[in-house]
A and B are shown apart, each in its own frame.
Chain A
Amino acid sequence: MKKAKKPTKTSKKVSGIITGILRLLFILGVSFVILRPHLIQLSSSLMSELDLFDQTVGWIPRTFTLENFAVAWEHLEYPRHFLNSLTLTTSVSLMQLISCTIVAYGIARFEFRGSKIIFAMVIFTLVIPPQLIMIPLYLSFRFFNPLGIFDQGINLLNSYWPFALTSLTATGLKNGLFIYIMRQFFKNMPTDLEEAAYVDGAGVFKTFYRIMLPGAVPGLIIIFLFSFVWQWNDYFFITLYMGARGEFLTQALIGLSSSVVDHVSQVSGEYPSMIENTGVLLFITPLLILYLFMQRYFIESVERTGLVG
């Protein structure tokens, strides 16, 4: 905080304290708004069904129980769906990380005819709503036949192929943003290093992954985190490509309350909502753990990223 010179020390101190208090109030208020849904989830996950109808029970349950977790765990078929989601999400984000970084490097560090057009196209992929190309994409994977090599198109739906193909070609969910971020990163790196490597006889690719990539690690972490989170949270594409299978955690979560209604006898109307909130908590826990590990890089690296430049 930059302060102009004030006439006396005390007035400076007083205004400093006032700023501090206002800042604290702002931060506390916003934090409360952000954390509140999760506090509600936590509170309802620990509550027994009796507490639901007790008007005197607010946020803090009267009878603590872990039973909701057991029910949600079982109806989500957590271990199985978790593994499915984890496999898909990890592979998708790794593929996107690699492809987006490579493409970004190409646009940022080489001059060639059409590089501006390619970059414009990267932005174009971002401003197209996925809903617009959803049906043609669906059809192109249902009858996959890109170069007309097959007699009849092959059906790639209900497999990992649609995800793999779009991820490897840097056209997956919000990939334009990743390319954009990495391009800014590479653009801001000094050319000296690169030139020194070329003079020493290193090839283009070797220079890329030996010299340039290590310097871009903060950017890679941000991209991996974004890509992981958005894939984990995705319901749209998973249902589009994998509709029939319903083997992933997002889908299990969407179906959770109806599954509870079907299998638990004599439930009150509000009970499924309680389980649902517990389910959401189970669903975001892996993300929170990941965030906990990565947030330090994430927050510190912002300062050096040149995310903007």
Chain B
Amino acid sequence: MNIIKNFKNKINWDLKKRQAVSGYAFSLPFIIGLIFFVLRPFYQAIIFSFNQLSIGSAGFDLEFAGFANYYYSIMVDPYFSEVFLESIGEMALQMPLIIAFSFFSAIVLNQKFRGQTAARAIFFLPVITAAGVILMMEEGDFMMDRMEGGRQALAFSGPALRNLLAQTRVPENIIEFIIFAVERIPAVIRASGIQILIFLAGLQSIPQSIYEAAKVEGATPWENFWLITFPLLSPLIITNIVYTIVDSFTNPVNEIVTLIRDTAFTGAGFGVSMAMAVLYFLVILSILGIILKILSRWVFYQE
């Protein structure tokens, strides 16, 4: 009896060991990369932000500066505070729009209709064509402005819409938000590609049998949506919020990103630039934390 037990234990142990060895072996590339290309630079970035950094031909020198770089960023730099608040505000306002739009689009694209494939292909196109340098080129481009000249005439935009809304009794700040939202329609649509993809994949993973059961019970489409689709997709809202924020880091139209970069290479120097980046990171992290804290209360997990 004992022998068999020992034998079993040995097999189990072997299996566990093999699992562990393989696990480490497969993860090894990332562990190396993590240490050398993420954690070390991250640590250094924080150190640099408290120092004056100068680069020579043989290496770099650090001179301790305390909080001087932070003080400079916030109090002295003519742009940082303003651009920083603007970027954060813009992101906070734009995010709900992106989430709502991509959620709605995913539901539409999940329906069966003629031309569904073509519609999907177009909705995902911005993943390819509204990124990196292409966005950079479109910003403030003359031809774009010229062709948009006709847009002013649309009752939809700016002044006309404002006049229309002013006649209603909608509170001022809501009017401001509506105008903000309308002006950002193109940006929102073009920043939603991946988010639509994630919601769509989520929709596909909801078992059809749930809807069939609901049908038997006599549920209306309205009830289907609020009692099945929405709760089951709610965890993905968090995924998408995280993705939207992460995506803005590499968006060249994000002004704070440009400012951090310009400060490093042509502005007040590396130390200040790092201090700005640290501040940006901390604020982003706390925003994420708050959002996750609030949302995790009502998010529904299937398990």
Contacts of B143 in A (CB 8 A): 40-41, 44, 270, 273-274, 276-277
With contacts A34-B126, A129-B277 taken as known, whether A146 is within 8 angstroms of B138 at the C-beta atoms is no
> Which of A121, A127, A136, A276 is B141 in contact with, Cβ under 8 Å?
A276
Q: Within the assembled complex, what's the spacing in Å between the Cα atoms of A29 and B229?
A: 25
Interface of B is mostly: helix
| CB-based contact B122/A35 at 8 Å | yes
The reply to whether A170 and B30 form a contact with Cβ atoms under 8 Å apart is yes
Check: A137 CB closer than 8 A to any chain B CB.
yes
Please tell me if A280 contacts chain B, counting CB pairs below 8 Å: yes
- Kindly report which residue of chain B lies nearest to residue A121, judged by CB atoms: B34
CB-CB contacts of A161-184 with B at 8 A, as 1s and 0s?
000011011110110010100000
Contact check, B288 vs A284: say whether CB atoms are below 8 A apart.
no
Chain A interface helix/strand/loop/mixed: helix
Query: Given A33-B189, A204-B18, do A137 and B25 touch, yes or no (CB 8 Å)?
Result: no
Provided the pairs A118-B30, A135-B273 are in contact, do residues A140 and B40 lie with their beta carbons within 8 angstroms? Answer: yes
CB B72 to nearest CB in A, in angstroms, measures 16
Contact A129 B41 (CB under 8 A): no
Inside 8 A of A99's CB, which chain B residues have their CB? 29-30, 33
Instruction: Indicate whether B154 reaches chain A with its CB closer than 8 angstroms.
Output: no
A305 within 8 Å of B by Cβ? yes
- CA of A143 to CA of B190, assembled, Å: 39
Find out whether the CB atom of A133 lies under 8 angstroms from the CB atom of B41. yes
A126 interface hit (Cβ, 8 Å): yes
Considering the chains assembled together, what is the distance between the CA atoms of A250 and B55 in angstroms? 27
* Known A110-B22, A136-B40, A229-B128; contact A169-B29, beta-carbon cutoff 8 A: yes
30 contacts between A and B (CB under 8 A): A4-B215, A23-B111, A31-B119, A33-B190, A34-B190, A40-B143, A103-B27, A103-B30, A112-B23, A115-B23, A121-B38, A122-B30, A128-B281, A129-B249, A132-B45, A132-B281, A140-B44, A169-B30, A169-B32, A169-B34, A171-B33, A204-B18, A208-B26, A230-B132, A232-B132, A254-B133, A280-B138, A306-B201, A307-B198, A308-B239
Given A132-B274, A299-B124, A302-B201, 8 more pairs with CB closer than 8 A: A20-B113, A31-B123, A34-B125, A107-B23, A133-B44, A152-B59, A169-B36, A273-B141
- Chain B interface residues toward A at CB < 8 A: 16, 18-20, 22-27, 29-34, 36-38, 40-42, 44-45, 48, 53, 55, 58-60, 105, 108, 111-113, 115, 117, 119-129, 131-134, 136-138, 141-144, 146-147, 150, 185-186, 189-190, 197-198, 200-202, 204-205, 211, 215, 218-221, 224, 236, 239, 242-243, 245-246, 249-250, 252, 257, 260-261, 264, 270, 273-274, 277-278, 280-281, 284-285, 288
